[in-house]
Amino acid sequence: MNTQITATPKLFIGIDIHKRSWKIHCSTDLFSGKSFSMAPDPELLRKYVDKHFAGHEVNVVYEAGCCGYHAHRCFEGYGWRSMVVNPADVHRKGRELH
Protein backbone atom coordinates (compact mmCIF):
# COMPACT_ATOMS: atom_id res chain seq x y z
CA MET A 1 0.00 0.00 0.00
CA ASN A 2 1.37 3.40 -0.97
CA THR A 3 0.75 6.35 1.26
CA GLN A 4 0.25 9.75 -0.27
CA ILE A 5 0.41 13.20 1.23
CA THR A 6 -3.07 14.65 0.93
CA ALA A 7 -2.50 17.98 2.66
CA THR A 8 0.26 20.57 2.53
CA PRO A 9 2.17 20.71 5.83
CA LYS A 10 1.76 24.02 7.62
CA LEU A 11 4.31 26.16 9.46
CA PHE A 12 3.24 28.86 11.90
CA ILE A 13 5.76 31.53 12.90
CA GLY A 14 5.24 34.07 15.67
CA ILE A 15 7.77 36.89 15.85
CA ASP A 16 8.56 39.38 18.58
CA ILE A 17 10.14 42.08 16.40
CA HIS A 18 12.62 44.59 17.76
CA LYS A 19 15.21 46.78 16.05
CA ARG A 20 18.21 44.74 17.20
CA SER A 21 16.86 41.17 17.23
CA TRP A 22 13.81 39.03 16.59
CA LYS A 23 12.54 36.28 18.86
CA ILE A 24 11.06 33.57 16.66
CA HIS A 25 8.71 30.73 17.60
CA CYS A 26 8.02 28.08 14.95
CA SER A 27 5.32 25.42 15.16
CA THR A 28 3.86 23.07 12.60
CA ASP A 29 0.59 21.25 12.46
CA LEU A 30 2.52 18.23 13.83
CA PHE A 31 4.82 19.60 16.57
CA SER A 32 4.57 22.31 19.20
CA GLY A 33 7.58 24.31 18.22
CA LYS A 34 10.99 25.75 18.71
CA SER A 35 12.02 29.24 19.84
CA PHE A 36 15.21 31.09 18.98
CA SER A 37 16.59 34.59 18.45
CA MET A 38 18.03 35.93 15.24
CA ALA A 39 19.19 39.12 13.56
CA PRO A 40 16.29 41.31 12.36
CA ASP A 41 16.45 40.30 8.71
CA PRO A 42 13.52 38.77 6.76
CA GLU A 43 15.92 37.14 4.29
CA LEU A 44 17.66 35.22 7.10
CA LEU A 45 14.30 33.89 8.25
CA ARG A 46 13.44 32.87 4.68
CA LYS A 47 16.71 30.93 4.40
CA TYR A 48 15.99 29.18 7.74
CA VAL A 49 12.49 28.22 6.59
CA ASP A 50 13.75 27.01 3.20
CA LYS A 51 16.36 24.83 4.91
CA HIS A 52 14.22 23.34 7.69
CA PHE A 53 10.64 23.54 6.41
CA ALA A 54 10.79 23.13 2.63
CA GLY A 55 7.37 22.45 1.15
CA HIS A 56 5.43 23.92 4.08
CA GLU A 57 2.70 26.52 3.76
CA VAL A 58 4.07 29.39 5.88
CA ASN A 59 1.96 31.64 8.11
CA VAL A 60 3.64 34.53 9.98
CA VAL A 61 2.29 36.88 12.61
CA TYR A 62 3.90 39.71 14.55
CA GLU A 63 2.82 42.69 16.61
CA ALA A 64 2.51 46.13 15.04
CA GLY A 65 5.09 48.47 16.45
CA CYS A 66 7.95 50.84 15.79
CA CYS A 67 9.56 48.66 13.11
CA GLY A 68 6.84 49.23 10.50
CA TYR A 69 5.74 46.91 7.72
CA HIS A 70 8.98 46.14 5.87
CA ALA A 71 9.09 42.57 7.21
CA HIS A 72 5.40 42.05 6.35
CA ARG A 73 5.99 43.13 2.75
CA CYS A 74 9.00 40.80 2.49
CA PHE A 75 7.06 37.83 3.91
CA GLU A 76 4.17 38.44 1.50
CA GLY A 77 6.74 38.65 -1.32
CA TYR A 78 8.01 35.18 -0.39
CA GLY A 79 4.47 33.85 -0.89
CA TRP A 80 3.86 33.51 2.86
CA ARG A 81 0.65 34.54 4.61
CA SER A 82 1.56 37.40 6.94
CA MET A 83 -0.47 39.25 9.56
CA VAL A 84 0.49 42.29 11.61
CA VAL A 85 -1.69 42.38 14.73
CA ASN A 86 -2.60 44.75 17.52
CA PRO A 87 -0.27 44.05 20.49
CA ALA A 88 -3.24 44.15 22.89
CA ASP A 89 -4.78 41.19 21.06
CA VAL A 90 -1.78 38.87 21.60
CA HIS A 91 -2.31 36.38 24.44
CA ARG A 92 0.38 36.48 27.15
CA LYS A 93 1.11 34.21 30.06
CA GLY A 94 0.84 35.77 33.52
CA ARG A 95 4.58 36.27 33.94
CA GLU A 96 4.86 38.03 30.55
CA LEU A 97 2.32 40.75 31.33
CA HIS A 98 4.88 43.17 32.77
Range picked from 50-59, 65-74, 83-92 for highest mean pLDDT? 50-59
Instruction: Give domain limits for the chain.
Output: 10-85
Question: 11 Cβ partners below 8 Å, 6+ apart?
Answer: 26, 27, 28, 49, 53, 56, 57, 58, 59
Residue with more model confidence, 96 or 57: 57
Beta-strand pair 34-38/22-28 = antiparallel
Class of domain 10-85: alpha beta
Give the model confidence (pLDDT) of 7-63 as tens digits: 889 999 999 888 899 999 999 988 888 899 999 999 999 999 999 999 999 999 998
Give how far the C-alpha of residue 80 lies from the chain's centroid of Cα atoms, to the nearest Å: 9
pLDDT at 33: 82
Nearest to 84 by CA among 97, 95, 96, 75: 75
pLDDT at 45: 97
